[in-house]
Chains A and B, each alone.
Chain A
Amino acid sequence: MENQDIILSVKDLNVKFNLRGKVLHAIRNVSLDVHKGESLCIVGESGCGKSVLNKNFIGLLDKNGWVDSGSILYYGMDDGKPVDLAKFPKESEWLKIRGHEICMILQDPMTSLNPLKTVGKQIGEAVELHQHLHGAALKQKVIQILADVGIPEPERRYKQYPHEFSGGMRQRVVIAIAIACNPKILICDEPTTALDVTIQAQILDLIKDLKAKYGLTIIFITHDLGVVANIADRIAVMYAGDIVEIGLVNEVFYDPKHPYTWALLSSLPQLGVKGQDLYSIKGTPPNLFKAVHGDAFAARNPQALKIDFVELPPYFEVSPTHKAKTWLLDPRAPKVEPPEHIKHIREIRNMRKKGGTVDGK
């Protein structure tokens, strides 16, 4: 996106974990810019490092992990000076960022709330800590936030406990707690995976509304490419601790370049043809305890070139906003066409349109 303010800039980030005496290289040289006011979706299989990357932004990396090299510059502070989140040593410094500036919503709404406290109290905690409100004013604010996240009868709900809420409503409460601190960046780590399809659609709508209302920047993590078409402005596809393709949502869906993005799109059941096998990615992701040579996806890619196994491809620019790490984009590479049915994504749209006329609308 043209000349938008960058709010968070990750440069050559390497994160490693110490596991049973071995070193796991979870994030490999990731560079990423997050623009102010956009929603960026990070997509990838489980274990590709998308959650680990985001945990760095709020200082919740597990004890056995560390930032090996690289920087995470945050530009959103009130004085306008960038701070390097990768070099934050102390918990007290994190408190200025976590909650105030950057907030996170976790996957499972059942486990992220305290079952022993009323919902009003849990949201109130965050408001009290960050906005220094007390008493009646505090309650007023909490009720207003509850109404904002679409919980009906907020006065009555204020006094209820999490077990009295359904899964979707609980996720709304979790979002309310995050919003209560007026953060600038909201990280959503698979917020809808544990929810039903209907509720999922409603929560996605809510996140979009809140983004507009509070001027949030959203980083959305998911493994399902089907979900992100609705909410994303830009998409980053992650594989084995590296971002292999990044671009505007239309570019990634209508003109994907990396074989891994092709594979992810092809395995969506929405694109499957009944009676035929659904495309599935063969093999398993590479072992990150060992050094990865070349393109990490090469071993699972049936169309891999020889060079894919030897040398890591650089980013090739497709357009100013769209780049992918694959040798296929090199001018010397043979021409490999993406799978046939990915090109049909636009046809789904027409199918739905036809459905619309049948409904008499």
Chain B
Amino acid sequence: MESKNREVLVSVKNMEVTFGVKRKKFVAVHGVSFDIYKGETFGLVGESGSGKTTIGRAIIRINPMSAGEVIYKGQRISGKISHELDREVTQQIQMIFQDPMASLNERAKVDYIVSEGLVNVHHGISHSEREAKVSEALSEVGLLPEFASRFPHEFSGGQRQRIGIARSLIMEPEFIIADEPISALDVSIRAQVLNLMSKLQKERGLTYLFIAHDLSVMRFICDRIAVIHKGVIVELAETEKLFAHPLHPYTRALLSAIPLPDPESEKEKVLEIYDPSCHHYETDKPVWTEIEPGHFIMANQEELAAYRRQITV
């Protein structure tokens, strides 16, 4: 309802991503569409191999799309685009990677890692200006400016993830794709990184696409969540709505699997297991439908009728 008035920053339309050629073709993402509003945190959740990372990588143009398009601020950024737009998009969309141990160049100093993108976009930036920007970015993520002259192996996992965040911040992006930024971290450090991300969002008005498999974290940080299964988004809703009225059986299975820090309810809990054969899609094909305002679901007519009854009850 209120979301209708909000500005759409990124719009993904019928995205399809395919790997391999000819007979070995594998479709990782099947016709996915969603909008991300400016200033929100949009969550993409699914199990490993569901294609959630592929979607993120396709938006930032690491993986080429085989069909569909991505619209960023009203302009198409997928496929062939002009040199100027390419440069603009490179600067405005940044990514934070999952594994802080593997995503930093082991042989480069932090100074170089953080400023590499900056040098690529602003040719001829002066040495002192670059240094100032690096130390500003480092202090913004809670690291000391002295760290610029160190190597990645001297840091802990949480600090490395902060370097990864500093590296994307220095470009002054508007849209950040965070690909499981906290799955490789310890509980206490996880909290620090989550806090940092929400602090930066408040200060800079950033928009996040947050990719994760852990719904308990998503509930804490995301405004809207899309649930993806085998390359298809099966349900999309505002976070609280999704938690209160999960409709699709896969969403319910995911929700039932969240570990709760409460021994008594854990002992009573019944695990729901999703079995794709519960759908009968042979004749009645599923369609992407808005069942309530802002609540989308992938279902066929028969299921839609059943879901509507559930909502009205």
Given A199-B47, A360-B313, do A225 and B187 touch, yes or no (CB 8 Å)?
yes
Is B260 interfacial (CB 8 A cutoff)?
Answer: yes
Contact B213 A278 (CB under 8 A): no
Is A5 interfacial (CB 8 A cutoff)?
Answer: no
Partner of A197, one of B157, B187, B254, B266: B254
The total of chain A residues at the interface (CB under 8 A) is: 49
CA distance A253 to B220 in the complex (A): 21
CB neighbours of B157 from chain A (8 A): 46
Is A210 interfacial (CB 8 A cutoff)?
Answer: no
**Range of interface residues on B (Cβ < 8 Å):** 35 or more
CA distance A167 to B243 in the complex (A): 27
CB neighbours of B258 from chain A (8 A): 197, 270
Residue of B nearest to A267 (CB): B191
Contact B261 A200 (CB under 8 A): no
Q: How many Å from the CB of A150 to the closest CB on chain B?
A: 11
Interface centre among B198, B253, B261, B313 (most CB of A within 10 A): B261
Is A198 interfacial (CB 8 A cutoff)?
Answer: yes
Number of contacts between A and B (CB, 8 Å)? 134
Is B192 interfacial (CB 8 A cutoff)?
Answer: yes
CA distance A227 to B188 in the complex (A): 15
CA distance A198 to B243 in the complex (A): 16
Is A201 interfacial (CB 8 A cutoff)?
Answer: yes
CB neighbours of B239 from chain A (8 A): 274
CB neighbours of B274 from chain A (8 A): 198
Tell me the A211-228 residues at the B interface (CB within 8 Å): 223-227
Is B71 interfacial (CB 8 A cutoff)?
Answer: no
Interface of B is mostly: helix
Residue of B nearest to A264 (CB): B187
CB neighbours of A226 from chain B (8 A): 216, 259-261
Tell me the B214-260 residues at the A interface (CB within 8 Å): 214-217, 219-221, 239, 243-246, 252-254, 256-260
Is B264 interfacial (CB 8 A cutoff)?
Answer: yes
CA distance A196 to B262 in the complex (A): 20
Contact A267 B187 (CB under 8 A): yes
List of 3 A-B pairs having minimum Cβ-Cβ separation, nearest first? A280-B191, A349-B265, A201-B257
Task: Give 23 A-B contacts (CB < 8 Å), ordered by A residue.
Answer: A45-B187, A45-B188, A197-B215, A223-B187, A224-B259, A226-B261, A253-B263, A267-B188, A268-B187, A268-B261, A269-B191, A270-B216, A270-B258, A271-B261, A272-B220, A274-B239, A278-B191, A346-B262, A348-B262, A348-B265, A349-B262, A349-B264, A352-B269
Extra contacts, 4 of them, besides A197-B259, A200-B257, A360-B313 (Cβ < 8 A), are A45-B186, A230-B259, A267-B188, A270-B219
